[in-house]
Chains A and B, each alone.
Chain A
Amino acid sequence: MPSDGHSRTVNALATTADGIIYCAAQSGLKRSVDLGRSWRNVGEAAPATVICALDAACILAATVGAVQISEDAGASWQARALPSPSTIVSSLLATSESILAATLEDGVLRSDDGGMSWRGWNFGLLSWRVNALCRDSAGIIWAATESGLFRSETDGRSWQDQADFAQASILSLDATAEGGLCLGTTEGALQICGNPRAGKTLARQWQVPINAICAIGERIAVLHGQTVSVSDGESGFEALSYTDATSIKWLDEARLLIGTKYGLVHRIDLP
């Protein structure tokens, strides 16, 4: 993508099983069908904060005050308005029954009708500033908030406080293949839990907030500040020579995508 400064910041990336890459940027939604070599605008040119591919055809994205839904691999999009006053969506997740939108002011919004209507659904969620959502291999949904970690075993219909993480302001999280969780805090602590219910293990401490974590197989990529570090699961984390990063996403176990604040998406081939 051409770079024209911060107005094109890449906020999020999504990939499908057939190798199509989607990008949520300040300048709008983009799609690449050639592994990032070329990009095409899709949907409205509104700033997008989050993008999430449910399958090859169904893509969800969040723009200001709305969730955009495409059911034809990004060819056409329909905007579904979120309740007023508008809030920033930090994460999107689809469950078997509904779509969950994590927000920075209204907790988790829920839609049971494909995005047509939304309502707050925060039973047990003490903190309504939700920075990230993810689902682990056991189907449990985890919510990272500014005041701890919350768990839902009811498809996001109710939340339980994870007392072990009560003091942490968690900015990012992702589930590992073994059923564990990786969490990143605003203080730069990376915690990797084999069993999140059993407690936390400090894996690495940086001095800057961990803005994103992405796990695939044995590998974990961490966006701390604007720098990306990668671990292969055996040795420690190794920083990549890309700065100004704003988002990360694994294409597969050997290829990592890095979005930057200048609107670039780099594809890194790892050994």
Chain B
Amino acid sequence: MIDQQQLAQNYSPPRQRAGVLTQPEAHRAMLRGIDKLLAAIQPTLGPRPRIVGIERGTRDTSPELLDDGAVIARRIIELPDQYENIGAMLLRGMLWRLSEAVGDGTATAAVLYRTVFAEGLSYAAAGGDLTQLRRHLESGLAAIITALKSQVMPLAGTAMLADFVKSVCDDDDLAQSLTEILEVTGALGLIDIQGGQARTARCAYFEGNFFTGGRHGAGSGAIEFEEAALLLTDFDLKEPDAVLPVLRLALREKIENLVVVARNVAEPVAALFARSATSSRLRVIAAKTPGSTTLAQADALHDLVILTGGRPLLEASGDTSNTVYPGNLGYARRVWIDKNYLSIRGGRGDLRQLRAHIAELQKAFEAATETDIRKGLRDRIGRLGSGFAILYTGGSTASEIEARVAMTKRALRTTRGALRHGILPGGGLALLSCRDLLQRRLGESRTPDERAACNILLKTVAAPFGALAQNAGYEAPALLAQMEHGLPGPAPFCSFDGIHDSAAAQIEALRYAVASAALALTVDAIVYRKLPELALRPDGAG
């Protein structure tokens, strides 16, 4: 964790001055800012990606090692020059939104954004109309996206999945484990990525429907009940008297193992349940209602009811423990619980209802656009899918472990996107293939603005390939000419056949980059206010 006091001492806020910057200085300053941010991100572009080290702000911790363009951009809080900073922050914001939406493609987007912006400035310098240019750029963007969508192919089969994961994370061992875990759990399975000391990645699989929350009370060990009944509530159980009707019902129904799910359980109630641990007639354990918010708890209770049958007792419905009857109880072949998790195996709910419920959640997931909602729905679908997997990935130092965990999470996010939305030829080739379309549009263009937009887009779709070639130490035009003449390119460009990109990441990277850069081009003046020093101090001290 960063020492805030030390960070404050090491941090020198840039000299701020109020003012207005007009053209052409405003655009030039923005471009310098974009170039500075791009210089930090471009090395992460494959097929030979490199890592960027970022100082943490304290001298006694190792630097952060990153290969994710969005996170690198996020770490750059501010550039020293206030006008350059405007350009950098516009790019930074776009990259973060893209990362939140699709999880990958940020380095490509940064390259595309820079190309559109820089070429647009050249057109502006020649007296072009940037507002009209923006309109034609957006029209050309729509045509390119249509062309890209026609190239999308499904990511299917083990070999293809393995190749794709390898191209995303560039790590054989990790790719093998990630492929295995995705094959077992499916694209929407519940997967946790954890750091470990071993360099080799390892998968662990756990059977059952896992819910977070775990048990109430002081015990930390795991308990497993066979043939258990479950009473699902969102109650705060404060007095032992409140649970007596439940216990009487359980004894009457000859239930031997009972799990009471409740939001809170007071100490006397927990003690009453604990005394049942040695009972031969009825063993009871209290589990926390899964979920951290009221809405999440309601969702989890709904899922548990579908899995186990029964009917939940809800405060909002006016239910109390006095109104419990046998139909309220759900049942499961096995219930496992420890201090963090509740796991149901072999729930006795209606399978047709369960199947319909999963289908509804999948439909909602497909329709959801907000990242948090999508994640919540994906976790719920994963929880109902009978298993949970952990992928351990690590290294020898804290920085290495952190970097590999981050890379694994990103690779997982990207691969899930590719499984849902398909893949495109990698290495910038999908974008390059759109040049024919743009050449045709150029030939049909009637206005200078339209022609300028086509020329800018022609350079833009070739830019990622150029950056890849540059990263690998080659001259892009020569390499392109060589490949166009059917000559084998040098490694790694000779083996692009097996390299693919996530279609969602590529298409969204293009959409975000061109639309944002076209908008940024229409910024005509920059107004900078002098901020009070207080707001610039990270520690909040005056």
Contacts and interface: CB of A to CB of B under 8 A. Distances in A.
A5 interface: no
Contacts of B205: 121, 123
A122 B226 contact: no
A249 B441 CA distance: 68
B388 to A, nearest CB: 9
A39 interface: no
Interface in B172-190: 183-186, 189
Interface residues of A, number: 25
B333 A124 contact: no
B207 A128 contact: no
A54 B186 CA distance: 30
Interface stretch (B4-12, B348-356, B421-429, B461-469): B348-356
Interface in B136-164: 158
Contact of A158 (B186, B345, B351, B355): B186
A157 B184 contact: yes
Interface string B25-40: 0000000000000000
Which of B158, B186, B227 is packed against the most chain A CB atoms within 10 Å?
A: B186
B393 interface: no
Grouping DSSP codes into helix (H, G, I), strand (E, B) and loop, the B interface class, with mixed when no group exceeds half, is mixed
Given A85-B226, A85-B227, A128-B346, A123 B355 contact: no
A107 interface: yes
A210 B298 CA distance: 42
Contacts of A158: 183-186
A127 B333 contact: no
A265 to B, nearest CB: 35
Interface in B477-493: none
B346 A119 contact: no
A148 interface: yes
B386 A122 contact: yes
Nearest to B227: A85
A119 B206 CA distance: 10
Contact of B207 (A120, A126, A146, A160): A120
B61 to A, nearest CB: 39
Contacts of A120: 207, 345
A235 interface: no
A147 B354 CA distance: 10
Interface string A119-149: 1111111111000000000000000001110
B355 A147 contact: yes
A123 B186 contact: yes
A120 B184 CA distance: 13
Given A123-B207, A166-B352, 10 more contacts: A107-B346, A107-B386, A124-B385, A124-B387, A127-B351, A128-B333, A147-B355, A148-B351, A154-B184, A158-B183
Interface of A: 84-85, 105-107, 119-128, 146-148, 154, 157-158, 160-161, 166-167
22 contacts: A84-B226, A85-B226, A85-B227, A107-B346, A107-B386, A120-B207, A122-B207, A122-B387, A123-B205, A124-B385, A124-B387, A126-B355, A126-B386, A127-B351, A148-B351, A148-B355, A154-B183, A154-B184, A157-B183, A158-B185, A160-B186, A161-B355
